[in-house]
Amino acid sequence: MDTNKRFLVGVYDDDDEVMAAVKTVRASGIKIHDVYTPFPVHGLDKAIGHPRTRIPMVAFMFGTLGLITMFVFTLYTMRLDWPMNIGGKDYYALPDFIPPMFEFTVLFTAFGMVFTFFITNGLWWGNKAVIFDLRSTDDKFVMAIDTASNQKSEAEIEKALRETGAIEINVKEIVEEED
């Protein structure tokens, strides 16, 4: 179901300021919808209260899958399906298969992790970006606050944004699919 959501959008022009603002605003009991920045601001995810990402675990699992896939594949092709006598050596000459196993580990890790990253963050070709302020991919740091989900009044939120150094405060209505 589509609903029209009303947001108060605070625009900051410095990464350190928005960082401090997030901490102050959260401490004053206002729930922040999200912060949009033109580049990664270290520690912002922690300040906003996101748990640590589990993407390294995903990467590790895909890597392991790649390793096992190539191990099984070389075992099947070189030992089980069509064993070849090459200079009387072992059919399954493990050291020789380490390079392809390594390459598959890297290949699976990279593609598995990046596509997990795409999917979990709603990135896909054709997806429309939810933009609160067009300058948030240029030089502005944008804090969006969902007014409906907050106990505090709009005036209080606006005051908090202004006190933490927002140079502009705008109202933005976004048609968002309920999740």
Partner 1 sequence: MSHVSAVVRPPLVTGGKSYHDITEDVCRQVEGKPTTSWKIVFAISSLVLAVGTVSVFWTWWDGLGNWGLNKTVGWAWDITNFVWWVGIGHAGTLISAILLLFRQKWRTSVNRAAEAMTIFAVICAASFILMHAGRAWLAYWCIPIPNTYGSLWVNFNSPLVWDVFAISTYFSVSCLFWYAGLIPDLATIRDRAKSKVSKYIYGLLSMGWNGNTKTWARYEYVSLILAGISTPLVLSVHTIVSFDFATSVIPGWHTTIFPPYFVAGAIFSGFAMVNNLLLIVRWTFKLQDYITIEHIETMNKIITVTGSIVGIAYITEFFIAAYSGVSYEQYAFINRATGPYWWAYWAMMTCNVVTPQLFWIRSIRRSITWTFALAVVVNIGMWFERFVIIVTSLHRDYIPSSWAMFSPTLIDIGDYVFTFGLFFVLFLLFAKYLPVINMAEVKAVMKSSSERFPYKVKPSSKKPGQHVTE
Distances (CA, A) of 109 to 69, 73, 99: 12, 18, 15
Residue from 6, 102, 153, 163 in contact with partner 1 (CB under 8 A): 102
Q: Are 55 and 116 in contact (CB under 8 A)?
A: yes
Residue 101 CB-density burial (10 A; 0-12 exposed, 13-18 middle, 19+ buried): middle
Residue 39 as a binder of partner 1 (CB under 8 A): the answer is yes
Give how far the C-alpha of residue 123 lies from the chain's centroid of Cα atoms, to the nearest Å. 9
Of 139 and 163, CB closest to partner 1: 139
Residue 167 as a binder of partner 1 (CB under 8 A): the answer is no
- Closest approach of partner 1 to the CB of residue 76, in Å: 9
**Total interface residues for partner 1 by CB under 8 A:** 67
Residue 56 as a binder of partner 1 (CB under 8 A): the answer is yes
How many helices, marked H, and strands, marked E, lie in the chain?
Answer: 5, 4
Give how far the C-alpha of residue 1 lies from the chain's centroid of Cα atoms, to the nearest Å. 25
User: Taking CB under 8 A as the criterion, which residues in 7-26 touch partner 1?
Assistant: 15-16, 19
Of 153 and 167, CB closest to partner 1: 167
The beta strand positions in 39-101, using DSSP E, are none
Of 86 and 171, CB closest to partner 1: 86
Structure token pair of residue 145? 């606050």
Of 45 and 159, CB closest to partner 1: 45
- What is the DSSP code (8-state) at residue 136? G
Residue 61 as a binder of partner 1 (CB under 8 A): the answer is no
Residue carrying the six token digits 């009044």: 153
Q: Are 21 and 161 in contact (CB under 8 A)?
A: yes
Residues binding partner 1 (CB under 8 A): 15-16, 19, 34-45, 48, 50, 53, 55-56, 59, 63, 73-74, 77-78, 81-82, 84, 86, 93, 96-97, 99-100, 102-107, 109-111, 113-114, 117-118, 120-132, 134-139
